[in-house]
Structure 1
Amino acid sequence: MSENNFPKLHNATWPGLVGKGANSEPPIPFDTMLDMTAKAEVNGVKFDGVDLGLLDPHININMSDDDIKRLGEKIGNLNLKVGSLVAPIWGGPILGSKDDRATFVEMVRKACHFGKVLRDIGIRPYGVVRIDSASSPHDWEKDPVNNQKLIVQTFQEACDVAADFGEKLAAEGEICWGGMHSWRTMLNTLQQVNRPNMGFQADMAHTLLYLMGYNHPEDRILPENFDWKDRNTLTDGLKTITKALRPYTFDFHVAQNDGTVFGSGSHDKTGRHCQATDPNGKLDVVNDAGYWLRDENGNLTKAFKHICWDGCMFPNEVMMRQQTWNDILATLIKVRQAHGWSEAEKEKLVAVGQ
């Protein structure tokens, strides 16, 4: 049997920043994240690309088109592609002021432009722009009806902007974001936005917390004091949320979770990202990825061309070990072999940096 070559396997660069800073460990430089990704190898297989957080101090969202092209050239020289981008929308929380919401939409516009430049030079053949509400569940709960209307309206405006660039937006399913802090609130948000270029970004570490009802107990699926040895109940819960959210899923992060929440730096508590080999992990990562990558009948959806590993808030000591990234890559390879496919590739050759 030939090796699957899709979905492509990506590493995320933003774990070098998220949860780092003044109240935590220092950020890990962008070039270091690229270098660790490029060096990872398992039986001759390497990462195919990176997903980028358009965040200072890694990347300046306001850099010139020429600088964006040079960035693409740097990544391409490491035999990596670019996939999804994270828009830097946190300076414009949707549940803030009218000006905040305008800033949110403008950051989406800048991210879409950034992505188009990378597409045009041939370094970004797939991927979406990731967003969230940039607002807390606590703020959302103060007035769920009207706050939900603000989120939906702002997402719709962002979708209209993204459509002008041919981009899709994916809302991050993470319990720390208002309007997407439970699987039902996330589903309601997607249904109400009702745009063809508005979808969901599923991260296995975060969506596991949906089952437990953190930040919105009304929507918990697993019983309180759940026995993690009860695999049948866990499987039923995973099937429930994936059936609901899979049709909207544009972007997917393979990850592990030990069933707890964690936050560091300025990042609110959310599903803990564990190492791929963590013995306390509650997920059968390879098997459970299939609930997102296959439909209820077991057929591949092929809904996206790449998958990514997100290791946010790993300690720097862990992230600076090359073996960490080799272990992550090994897990991604297993997911692709179990739930991937093979197809001919067409390379778009465009001069970079001109």
Structure 2
Amino acid sequence: MGGNSYPKLHNAMWPGLVGKGDDEPPIALNKMLDMTQAAEAGGHKFDGVDLFLADPHTSIDVDDDAIQALADNIGGRGLMVGSAVAPVWPPVGGGSAMDPGEGRTAFLDAVRKACAILARLKSLGVRDSGVVRVDTATGVEDWAADPAGNTAIMAETFRMACDIAADYGERLAAEGEICWGGMHSWRDMVNLLEATDRPSVIGFQADMAHSMLYTLGYNAPEHALISADQLDDQAALDAALTTVTDALRPWTIDFHVAQNDGTVHGQGSHDKTGRHCMATDPNGKLDIVKHAGFWLNGPDGAPTKAMRHICWDGCMFPNAVLEDQQTWNDILAAMVAVRDAHGWEA
């Protein structure tokens, strides 16, 4: 088969849950695992999965027997576990990082439980890379009422979360989505990470579908680098993405390959954020392989090797798309191409 050995290629399990429950039912974890296990592209297979630690997939309150069963299930398919989403949002038991009271307590409880689950999976031999993913669980308008003060509160919450993660030997990654206050623009994301000031523990999770919208200034027009009508101008898009990636790449410790057509999308209870498109979508504005390299390679063009696996995020795809095996074959093919272009040998 040839090609590079790293980064390993993972598939996200949360597209089976995020945005579901209203017009479409959730897709069971085993179904998502089946599709991942069956995917094939040029003789390549997925190496692992990234998890969503919430019902009906994996409860954040899962007991040790269930963690063992999860490890047996995933490991028995020849897959590894990488990163996982901690359910820090109020609707599923968490709380806002901007609330210094009960919200912070609930946020930190979710982080603690997620770290414990992932540490246990590591001890069971089915996990050797990855982070705990968090957001601020705060709306943009609420944050905008007092940007400096609210960023300081969220940074304090993040520092406390870092203490918890460090105790478990874990790292945290904050994913920049335009729907989360304090993380909704590339400059505000840098400000929050710098204010947290724990670079050995917390970093940034770049998702190509979300981070492309940073260049347009969605929810933060003062930080726009290009206009929507410039998305088809590859030179302009490349220059804007270079500015964003130069600012955030030093913090990037987790990475989602994705495509975006320049629009936003919300589904179910999830606010509008960068639309995830199919890898083969002709309306996609990104050159997936080229633009992945903006994140995965340093200014010298050499791989940063900041993460041992990368993931595909198909968040809020329709169920008919998610349950079509060709979807996952096409996604895997795109990820193999990214690794061939920007990966490395062990």
SS in 2 for 1:215: coil
Tell me the alpha carbon deviations over residues 85-142 of structure 1, each in whole angstroms, 9 at most, x when there is no partner: 1001102112346011111011100000000000001100000000000011111001
Shift of 1:228: 2.6
1:94 is matched with: 97
Q: Which runs of 5+ in 1 are unaligned?
A: 344-354
1:183 is matched with: 186
What does 1:1-354 align with in structure 2 at a 5 Å threshold? 2-22=2-22, 24-91=23-90, 92-96=95-99, 98-195=101-198, 196-222=200-226, 224-343=227-346
Mapped to 2, the partners of 1:146 and 1:333 lie a distance apart of 43
Mapped to 1, the partners of 2:252 and 2:222 lie a distance apart of 23
Amino acid of the structure 2 residue aligned with 1:250: I
1:349 is matched with: none
- Superposed CA RMSD in Å reads 1.0
Tell me the alpha carbon deviations over residues 314-336 of structure 1, each in whole angstroms, 9 at most, x when there is no partner: 00111110000000000000000
SS in 1 for 2:10: strand
Say whether the 8 Å CA contact 2:111–2:165 is kept in structure 1: yes
Amino acid of the structure 1 residue aligned with 2:51: L
Tell me the alpha carbon deviations over residues 169-221 of structure 1, each in whole angstroms, 9 at most, x when there is no partner: 00011111111000000000011111010100000000000000000111011
Say whether the 8 Å CA contact 1:95–1:139 is kept in structure 2: no
Mapped to 1, the partners of 2:42 and 2:148 lie a distance apart of 53
Mapped to 2, the partners of 1:226 and 1:185 lie a distance apart of 24
1:347 is matched with: none
Which 4+ runs in 1 deviate beyond 3 A?
A: none
Say whether the 8 Å CA contact 2:81–2:128 is kept in structure 1: yes
Mapped to 2, the partners of 1:287 and 1:33 lie a distance apart of 28
SS in 2 for 1:212: coil
Amino acid of the structure 2 residue aligned with 1:128: V
Mapped to 1, the partners of 2:214 and 2:89 lie a distance apart of 22
Amino acid of the structure 2 residue aligned with 1:84: S
Amino acid of the structure 2 residue aligned with 1:116: A
Say whether the 8 Å CA contact 1:20–1:26 is kept in structure 2: yes
Tell me the alpha carbon deviations over residues 58-84 of structure 1, each in whole angstroms, 9 at most, x when there is no partner: 111111112101101100111000000
Mapped to 1, the partners of 2:56 and 2:12 lie a distance apart of 15
Mapped to 2, the partners of 1:116 and 1:290 lie a distance apart of 30
Mapped to 2, the partners of 1:145 and 1:189 lie a distance apart of 10
Say whether the 8 Å CA contact 1:19–1:267 is kept in structure 2: yes
Amino acid of the structure 1 residue aligned with 2:223: D
Residues 277 and 153 of structure 1, relative CA distance in 2, 3 Å threshold: same
SS in 1 for 2:270: coil
Say whether the 8 Å CA contact 2:97–2:158 is kept in structure 1: no
The size of the alignment, in residue pairs, is: 341
Structure 1 window deviating more from structure 2 (37-46 vs 87-96): it is 87-96
Say whether the 8 Å CA contact 2:99–2:153 is kept in structure 1: no
Say whether the 8 Å CA contact 1:14–1:52 is kept in structure 2: yes
Say whether the 8 Å CA contact 2:230–2:236 is kept in structure 1: no
Amino acid of the structure 1 residue aligned with 2:278: Q
Shift of 1:150: 1.1
Say whether the 8 Å CA contact 1:128–1:170 is kept in structure 2: yes
SS in 2 for 1:199: strand
> Structure 1 length as normaliser, TM-score?
0.95
Mapped to 2, the partners of 1:273 and 1:150 lie a distance apart of 31
Say whether the 8 Å CA contact 2:98–2:157 is kept in structure 1: no
Amino acid of the structure 1 residue aligned with 2:96: P
Amino acid of the structure 1 residue aligned with 2:222: E
